[in-house]
Amino acid sequence: MSRPASAAAGSALAGIALTVAAMACFATLDTTTKYVTATVPLLMALWFRYAFQAVVTTIAVLPVRGLAVLRTAHPRFQLLRGVLLLLSSLFAFLSLRYMPVGEFTAIVMITPLIITLLASTSLGEKVSTLRWVLVVGGFTGAMVIIRPGASSFSWATLLPLSLVVSNSWFQVLTSKMAKTEDPVTMHLYTGWVGALIVTVTLPFVWTSEISTLNWGLLLVMGALASIGHFMLILAYKRSPAASLTPYLYAQIGFAMVGGWLVFSHVPDRLSTMGIVMIAVCGVGGAWLAFRESRSARQVEVQPVEA
């Protein structure tokens, strides 16, 4: 009995470690994106991010799985999923041009809370009062960071909210498709949909007048995106999503460190308050999800009386 328990604990710890490492990749990706897009055309940087993922995933998967990996029961949903993620990336790149990395990341992390709202309105799921309180608290934290009406407010600060909306729909669609679709197939289509769409814009934005450093950083961006998503896939294979969700908020910490090291930015007092509100509400929502899933499992294993 001790061996299976030990193996389960090891698998859980591996899932946590992979999740934290993936968050470090994504925070580094965002910091690199903010640095690169200051001088490199945004759509060109976006193309590198998707082209790298598409090519590397194809090279890694096709020799092992063959053309069978391309089979899908829902090609239209695969296309829609790819478009939603591309929109999310576009909003992210635009946001990072105008916002500090830490504050941007914190606002994006209200996505799990917004998914709760979508689950209630679109999927008909029952949402507890406490969950609604956490959703309102997380959104309030985002408003504290954005501060509509303040002298520092600009239209660009609304871009992360557009990202939250597109990414929330992406996550909801992913959760529905994951019940019938191969996650490797989904990852492959996502990369190629984004890469092919952005390729159409390349003749209008391409430039070779880029420093050697930025050429290297463009490749780094593609590598970080691919490695981060791959590590998340491995993490979710080892641990339930509900138990890993709290560790997603480690990305806020990594992002704040990156913003400080590269751009010498430290959030002001109000922004820090908003970041803390989002993190607390997000972790609280993850804890509720974990508690509810554990209660559901306990009900399932109870013996049925004759």
- 26 inside domain: no
* Of 242, 252, 240, 241, residue with least CA distance to 279: 252
The tokens describing 12, both together, are 């859980």
The per-residue pLDDT of the chain, averaged, comes to 83
Among 9-23, 146-160, 169-183, 186-200, the range with the most confident prediction by mean pLDDT is 186-200
Q: Give me the mean pLDDT over the 193-212 stretch.
A: 93
Per the CB < 8 A criterion, the answer to whether 165 and 114 are in contact is yes
- 205 inside domain: yes
At 122-160, the pLDDT tens digits run 656 676 788 788 888 888 888 888 777 665 567 777 888
Over 80: is that where the pLDDT of 224 sits?
yes
- 25 inside domain: no
- What DSSP string describes the chain? -HHHHHHHHHHHHHHHHHHHHHHHHHHHHHHHHHHHTTTS-HHHHHHHHHHHHHHHHHHHHHHHHGGGGG--S-HHHHHHHHHHHHHHHHHHHHHHHHS-HHHHHHHHTTHHHHHHHHHHHTS-----HHHHHHHHHHHHHHHHHH-TTSTT--GGGGHHHHHHHHHHHHHHHHHHHTTTS-HHHHHHHHHHHHHHHHHTTHHHH--S---HHHHHHHHHHHHHHHHHHHHHHHHHHHS-HHHHHHHHTHHHHHHHHHHHHHH-----HHHHHHHHHHHHHHHHHHHHHHHHHHHHHHHHHSPPP-
Domain of 249, in residue numbers: 39-292
Sign (positive or negative) of CA dihedral 128, 134, 138, 139: positive
* Of 268, 86, 87, residue with least CA distance to 161: 87
- 200 inside domain: yes
- 302 inside domain: no
Q: What domain count does the chain have?
A: 1
- 283 inside domain: yes
The tokens describing 293, both together, are 């899933």
* Of 294, 196, 217, residue with least CA distance to 45: 217
Over 90: is that where the pLDDT of 25 sits?
yes
Tell me the pLDDT band of 8, cut-offs 50, 70 and 90: low
Neighbouring residues of 176: CB distance < 8 A, sequence distance ≥ 6: none
At 70-117, the pLDDT tens digits run 899 889 999 999 999 999 999 999 999 888 898 898 888 888 777 777
- 67 inside domain: yes
Q: Round to whole Å and give the CA distance between 21 and 168.
A: 22
- 28 inside domain: no
- Model pLDDT, residue 301: 46
